[in-house]
Structure 1
Amino acid sequence: MTWSYRPALDGARTLAVYLVVLFHAGLSWADGGFIGVDLFFVLSGFLVSTILYGELADRGHLDLVRFYDRRVRRLLPAAVVLVVVVSLVGVLVLSAADRGPMAGDARAALLYYANWHFMAQSNDYFGSTVVDSSLFLHFWSLSIEEQFYFLFPVLLLVLHRVDRRWRHATPVVLGALLVASVALQRWWAPQDANHAYYGTETRFYQLLAGVLLALWLHRRRAAGRQGMPGAVPATLAGAVIVVVLAGSWLDLSPSWRGLASTVGALLLVGGLSGEQVHVAARPFTFPPVVYLGKISYGTYLWHWPIIVLLGQAIDPPAWQFALLVVALSTAVAAASYTMLETPIRSRRLAPSRRLPAVLAGLAASLVTALLVVPPVMAATQPVALKGNGLLESGPDNTTGPPPELDYARLTSYREAPVRECRPRDLDPCRLVTGEDGPHVFVLGDSQAREMEPTLRMLAHEKHFNLTMLSLDACAWPPGVFNLVSPVPVRERCERLRSGFWDTIVEKEPIDLLLLIQQDRSAKLFDGTLTDSLEGKPVDDNGRLLVESTDKALARLDELGIPTVVEQSLWLPPEDANPMACLSGAKDVAQCRVPIARTDSALDSAYLVNAETRKNIHRVDLNPIFCPNAPICDAVLDGIPVWRDSRHIYAKLQEDKREQIWDAITATGVLDDQR
């Protein structure tokens, strides 16, 4: 019953890891290469459970301490070394602002809850670019595996005892868990693709599929039958399914692709698991292929940080970049395997020393996550970033050293919470009450949220009452939905907007309505908007926004509600992050950015409505934040201008609040209130 080493399964690891590497390196023909992770999951479930089934059959019990000792020594040392080394390198090449959120990413990686950590970030309006650029993003899949390794042996031990009374307990329970996981995968996929992809419960089915395959083969061997029937056609079919799904030929969602790739992985792993090497398995047993599979853990660990860090320095054609990433990640993995992983794994420990080894490994991971990485990531930037210092500037542009600020905190801390209230209970959104002046009502997205502290101050200083509704990624005109947001977030947006447009606007006494949102008619947002909760992308964002804006403003005008629409803010180019630049620059002049001042379709709609409707006004705050346009400084009066590439820093808005209020009142919107 003893399980012996199968070199072909290491060959399958090679296929899995390089599919992922090529996908992450950006090769267009490997658009589905992320299914390499699916193959890893099936392999992991198969191999771990095969070993555990054999131990139960031979000894009648599981040595959990021995199992966890092997897992800890196999996985933790290489992960800890990677996190420390990558953090140190990050200090040299990344700004403090870019590194700030990564301390939390590293902590999640080393404590193996990275999948939930990155799921939370990717569901946040600001999270997508942060997630994509994190040096530790790839730990999401390792976290799911570790969670499986922690839970499964205990479950198997319980099921083994139940099996003594009912022999079918193990396959029935594991099969039920697999079906439940598949159901959750399919339920979450249309609701929240991020949850479907990163969730533990939505990906366990792939590990459980490997577990059930191993159980089936284990019981076949116990009955005197050898291997998987039809191993050659199964191997060929499995390899073809995996390779086809890894390409860009099929238009499948990640969810359906993952389900199909699990079937392919089961066929491939089952076909390669026999003791005899058949003709279809020979390519997987070629010695260099087997060796690359043995070092695949290190290759996976190192390839993503290499991609992120190399991308900061070079921009070659995709195929050249992919070759470089493959070469570097393989070389580093080989060194890690030889000098670190093998010596630690191969060392034999007495049974009495296994538990201390497990605890020591966990302690090392915990100490690194909590005490080592955070101060490293917060270290002073030693190398000045290349900025935009060659931009022409006028005599009034700012120069001098950047302000001394905690840039890492500034890029990860929000000044105000989301404000979402139902019409029947607006009290949580009434921020200032009891003043003698008018009632100002604010409706908007994350840009309104960033402005909340300024409006609070103004309300107290100018003696007006303030109510605010704000939700990230939620445009204020009805009938506009952001496809980047998962369905639950779109539903929240619809509840907030419908509450305002169906009830509040009719019943709430509003003396000034301030509407704030990001310009989603820009090219950057092509393909991201729809006109229904679960609709398809519209062909023309500008047309959708203009039509919905015109209808909303026409209704406000008919109701006689004095309304001010904020002109779209000038923002840096998408590939520029002035805050990150400032955190590493020697002079603020390095971080100036050019601004295109062309009115978008949405801004043109604001202008037309303001000129043709009595109660609609438009305010342009851009000259306050960029007085030297078309070249904008990254610092004004010692304060950074942008919090990130899409938001004016709240502290600057507070500093400029008198100018902001003067600009609003200059529209004449409050003339009747005086």
Structure 2
Amino acid sequence: MQGLRAVAVLLVLVYHLDSSYLTGGYVGVDVFFVISGFLITSLLLREVRSSGRVSISRFYIRRVRRILPAATLVLTATAAAALLLLPSTRLEQTALELASSAAYIENFVLAGQTVDYLAAEEAPSPVQHFWSLAVEEQFYLVWPLLFVGWAALRSRIRARRAAAVLGGAVAAVVAASLVCSVLLTSSDPTAAYFLPWTRMWELAAGGLLALALSRWSVPGPLRDPLGWAGLAAVAVAAVAYDGHTAFPGYAAALPVLGAAAVIAAGEGRSRYSAGRLLSTRPARLVGDLSYALYLWHWPVVVITLGVLNVPELSPAQAAAVAALSLALAWATKIVLEDPVRVRGLLATGRSAAAFALSGVLVVAGAAWGIQLHVQQVRSTEFDPQVHLGPQALDVADEPDALTAPPYPSVLTAEDDLPDLYGDGCQSSETDTEPSPCVYGAEDADTTVALVGDSHAAHWSPALQEVAEERGWELHTFTKSSCAFTATLLVRPGEEEPYTQCREWTGNVLERLRDLGPDIVFTSSRAQAAPYGIDDEEKAREAVAEGMSELWRKLDAMGVTVVALRDTPTARSRIVECIDLHAPDTDACVRERDRALGGGDPQVIAAEESGVDARVVDLSDRFCLDDVCPAVIGNVLVYRDSHHITATYSRLLSEDLAERVEAAL
């Protein structure tokens, strides 16, 4: 059994170190579920048959002794390491998940937040893996009660009939949970991954196997092939499955049945059996460390990624993380797990309950301490004497130097959005009808419109300021990932044509025809991708051709077109980079050539459209001679890798007004 535990934990470890090696390594968790269900059910069976009853108190004392000491240690250590090493942007979610992990409800928290575990969300919590322990403990809240009922039934009817009733009940749990898993995986795969009623059948399958092996055994000649077949099934799932596999659902049956086959085969008959391989000393050693290794490896992976501010580990980094995880697991076993087991600590209900409560309080206290730090960081207020933004480019020797806590704070930058988002005016990717907002002066003599994707939207704070100052009436028409072009586009990461964008653009043109604005401001992400064209240069030309087509239609309406050149891009996880390196943010700058990319299709369109379109370029308000910093005048320029903060946009209003006036 320890050897199979070793297989399970190594699958998960390799998957989390680099999923490209084992794209389905997450099935190791399913192997753990089968093992746990088998062992717990075997224990309950023996207790009923030896004493005629099940002691619920003894059952949970054993669970506390086995699970809580190491779990509490890892959660507490992770809380301290997160506070010291992780960027503040990660701490609020970490605090929540620390508390939910200590209470063994982490799976419900993740399901409620629609976290895609297989996709390994961009900023995962270092205790996210506690979801599987939560599923097990929720299962064990009800599983012993089944055996309490069976023990009572055995005293009233014949043992064989009572055993048949128990077997039928366990089989019914397996069937009902499996059906639930299949149905929910097809309708809500994220919830299906985490919820106990979709996973219960995997633990119950181990229990059903324990019931079967308590009455029958696998014939000798079948043991060796059965063991190898089971191990092969687990291996196939680990290699063939990936993040796109509909999981758990039907797909979970392969690793579950494989694990059950290995357990049923036992050690086998020959020296070359799978069971003998899994009984070797190295396999048993890793199996002995499997629980502690599972607990430690994920926090080490996540915190290392956070400290290095990288999306994935290099081979050398992965090897170092694996070594550290093994070392921590070994120390935990020697210093904590073995003494608790060998010396009989936490052997009474009172001591076990006291330890369980203390553990929850300690971790909750650590989470509360993290939350206090988060609130302190969040409380940064805007000071016009300190937070100069682009003005610092004119008055400061080092405008990119961080001399005060930046605004917006690293914890609020992501939410520093233009007003039009909160006002419900940013059309979603599925919308085909525009939902414009109107800002600026009432009864204005000049009407202007802003049209484009989210990169147009992030200019709206600056344009709102200009509209208020100049007495303009500003209408906004923006849609996610939808550049203002007649060219058929594809959304980032998608392959299907973005037909909703084309339809929305046509409807916007009709609105503009009715509105009759004096000026249309437009902007879009320079990397907008046309459908069916992979070559970057040809793609830009195709997008520009579609822009020219629309601009000519606007020109025919008597509308002046002003294209706002796309803003430079930042490095990925830019806010975390600033938080990690502040006050020295040199590591977070991006080279000017890379930040500005290969060119903006709007510039091409202005040259080739045949209309008097004006291009306004404020790149010099984002970049110095050769780099584009992430902080200027103590203001965060970016809220992510390619959107600027509403604050920086607003502070650009004076520059924008001057450039537009000059262009017109």
TM-score (norm 2): 0.75
Question: Does the 8 A contact of 2:9 with 2:293 survive in 1?
Answer: yes
Q: Which runs of 5+ in 1 are unaligned?
A: 1-8, 190-194, 381-393, 522-528, 532-536, 669-674
CA contact (8 A) 1:643 1:649 kept: yes
Asked if structure 2 preserves the Cα contact closer than 8 Å seen for 1:557 and 1:615, the reply is: no
Q: 1:463 aligns with which of 459, 462, 471?
A: 471
Matched to 1:270, the amino acid is A
Tell which structure's C-alpha radius of gyration is larger: 2
Give SS of 2:647's match: helix
Deviation at 1:111, TM superposition (A): 5.1
Deviations 1:64-95 (A, max 9, x none): 66555544554444344334434434555555
Residues 1:209 and 2:202 aligned together? yes
Contact 1:402 1:585 (8 Å CA) reproduced: no
Contact 2:24/2:243 (<8 A) preserved = no
Q: Per the alignment, do residues 614 and 68 of structure 1 end up closer, same or farther by CA in structure 2, a change over 3 Å counting?
A: farther
List aligned pairs for 1:485-504, cutoff 5 A: 497=501, 500-504=504-508
Note if 1:568 corresponds to 2:566: yes
Which deviates further from its counterpart, 97-106 or 457-466? Answer: 97-106
Cα distance in 1 between the residues matched to 2:106 and 2:88: 21
How far does residue 335 in structure 1 lie from its aligned partner after superposition? 0.9
Instruction: Kindly provide the amino acid, as one letter, of the partner of residue 542 in structure 2.
Output: E
Q: Is the 8 A contact 1:96 1:378 kept in 2?
A: no
Query: Over aligned residues, Cα RMSD in angstroms?
Result: 4.6
Counterpart of 2:332, as a letter, is: S
**Which secondary structure state, in structure 2, belongs to the residue aligned with residue 285 of structure 1?**
coil
1:218-237 mapped onto 2 (5 Å cutoff): 218-219=211-212, 221=214, 224-226=215-217, 230-237=222-229
Whether 1:142 aligns to 2:130 is yes
The within-5 A match list for 1:513-524 is 513-520=520-527
1:354 and 1:438 mapped to 2: Cα distance?
A: 75
Relative to 1, partners in 2 of residues 1:113 and 1:570: Cα closer, same or farther, differing over 3 Å? farther
Are the structure 2 counterparts of residues 632 and 263 from structure 1 closer, same or farther at C-alpha, using a change threshold of 3 Å?
Answer: closer
1:332 pairs with 2:340? no
Structure 1 range deviating more: 512-521 or 236-245: 512-521
Equivalence for 2:390: none
Q: How far apart are residue 290 of structure 1 and its match?
A: 1.9
| Distance (Å, rounded) in 2 between the aligned partners of 1:123 and 1:504 | 35
Deviates more, 1:651-660 or 1:160-169: 160-169
1:283 aligns with 2:277: yes
1:547 maps onto 2:549 in alignment: no
Q: Is the 8 A contact 2:61 2:349 kept in 1?
A: no
Q: Secondary structure at the match of 1:519?
A: coil
Q: Does 1:480 align with 2:489?
A: yes
Query: How far apart are 1:569 and its partner, in Å?
Result: 1.6
Structure 1 residues 449 and 501: alpha-carbon distance in aligned structure 2, compared to 1, 3 A threshold: closer
2:408 matches 1:404:
no
Alignment of 1:644-655 (within 5 A): 644-655=640-651
Q: Distance in 2 between matches of 1:448 and 1:341?
A: 58
Amino acid at match of 2:207: A
Answer yes or no: is the 8 Å Cα contact 1:437–1:463 preserved in 2: yes
- Alpha-carbon contact 1:567-1:620 (below 8 Å) kept: yes
- Structure 2: distance between partners of 1:128 and 1:622: 39
| Contact kept in structure 2, 1:515 and 1:564, CA below 8 Å | yes
Query: Bigger CA drift: 346-355 or 158-167?
Result: 158-167
Q: 2-side partners of 1:20 and 1:306: how far apart?
A: 14
Give the 3 Å change call, closer, same or farther, for CA 604–474 of structure 1 in structure 2: closer
Distance 2:444 2:257 in 1: 71
Cα distance in 2, alignment partners of residues 615 and 593 from structure 1? 33
Deviates more, 1:398-407 or 1:641-650: 398-407
* Rounded Cα–Cα distance in structure 2 between residues aligned with 1:447 and 1:601: 17
Unaligned 5+ residue runs, structure 2? 154-161, 378-394
Aligned match for 1:43, one of 35, 53, 56 = 35
Q: Distance in 2 between matches of 1:110 and 1:472?
A: 39
Q: d(CA) in 1 for partners of 2:119 and 2:499?
A: 25
- Aligned positions of 1:232-271 closer than 5 A: 232-247=224-239, 250=240, 254-255=244-245, 260=251, 262-271=253-262
> Deviations for 1:226-246, whole angstroms, at most 9, x for unmatched residues?
358833222201212333443
User: What is the rounded CA distance, in whole Å, between the counterparts of 2:663 and 2:262 in structure 1?
Assistant: 74
Q: 1:128 to 1:349 in 2, by over 3 A?
A: closer
Give the drift of 1:530.
Answer: 8.3
Q: Residue 596 of structure 1: CA displacement?
A: 0.4
Q: Secondary structure of the equivalent of 1:255?
A: coil
442-451 or 283-292: which moved more? 442-451
Q: Is the 8 A contact 1:105 1:114 kept in 2?
A: yes
SS at match of 1:43: helix
Question: Could you tell me which of 288, 293, 297 is aligned with 1:299?
Answer: 293
